[in-house]
């Protein structure tokens, strides 16, 4: 069973996106210091988190509290796996179909938790993100924003490779 999402992911300022509820109140915020940076800061009800690349020869990004990784976005060829620092898979983010503009967040049991359609605003040349479907159980705002940062980073890297 899929529901209409109750959250919206909207750009609220330059390089700033917020997860808004149905009344328009911010549940959490994603801040990027520069448009080309994979680094970001997530401000949620349970604290301030840093998103940055993992050290070493990896393309993965991680969500840090202080200098301790809490969540890791592991980029794989069949999608991005969001896992804990202990290795337990929480979500997989993958395109719905090969050339689809919709990304689906599925949990470890294979249940779709969130679907996000990526579009392009040709007037401003900026990408837009629309939640199109939601699972029965809502996702944590921190997980949604970290997943969205993983999608944005993947798209930025693909655009840089194509240029």
Provide the pLDDT for residue 114.
94
153 lies in a domain? yes
- Give the three-class secondary structure for 141: helix
Q: Which regions in the chain score pLDDT beneath 50?
A: 1
Provide the pLDDT for residue 107.
94
Range of the domain at 66: 8-162
Provide the pLDDT for residue 128.
92
What's this model's pTM, rounded to 2 decimal places? 0.91
Residue 148 is given by DSSP the state H
1 lies in a domain? no
Q: How far apart are CA 10 and CA 22, in angstroms?
A: 12
Provide the pLDDT for residue 122.
92
3 lies in a domain? no
Question: Domain containing 147 — which CATH number?
Answer: 2.40.160
31 lies in a domain? yes
Q: How far apart are CA 138 and CA 68, in angstroms?
A: 26
Split into its structural domains, the chain has a count of 1
Q: How far apart are CA 29 and CA 89, in angstroms?
A: 24
2 lies in a domain? no
Instruction: Report the side by side order of strands in the sheet with 89-95.
Output: 8-13, 16-20, 26-31, 40-44, 47-53, 61-65, 68-76, 79-84, 89-95, 102-107, 112-121, 126-134
54 lies in a domain? yes
Provide the pLDDT for residue 63.
95
Provide the pLDDT for residue 34.
84
Provide the pLDDT for residue 5.
74
Name the H helices within 1-140. none
Provide the pLDDT for residue 37.
78
Provide the pLDDT for residue 126.
87
* pLDDT one-digit tens code per residue, 11-58: 888 889 999 988 889 999 999 988 777 799 999 999 999 999 987 777
């Amino acid at each position: 069973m899929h529901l209409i999402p109750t959250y919206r992911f909207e750009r609220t300022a330059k390089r700033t996106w917020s997860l808004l509820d149905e009344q328009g109140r911010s549940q959490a915020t994603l801040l990027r210091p520069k448009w080309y940076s994979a680094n970001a800061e997530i401000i949620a009800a349970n604290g301030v988190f840093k998103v940055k690349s993992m050290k070493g020869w990896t393309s993965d990004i991680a969500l840090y509290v202080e200098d301790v990784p809490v969540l890791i976005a592991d980029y794989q060829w069949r999608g991005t796996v969001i896992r804990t620092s202990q290795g337990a898979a929480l979500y997989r983010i993958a395109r719905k179909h090969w050339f689809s503009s919709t990304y689906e967040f599925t949990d470890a049991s294979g249940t779709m938790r969130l679907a996000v359609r990526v579009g392009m605003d040709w007037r401003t040349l900026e990408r837009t993100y629309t939640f199109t479907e939601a699972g029965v159980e809502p996702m944590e705002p921190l997980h949604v924003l970290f997943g969205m940062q993983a999608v944005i980073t993947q798209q930025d890297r693909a655009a840089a490779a194509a240029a």
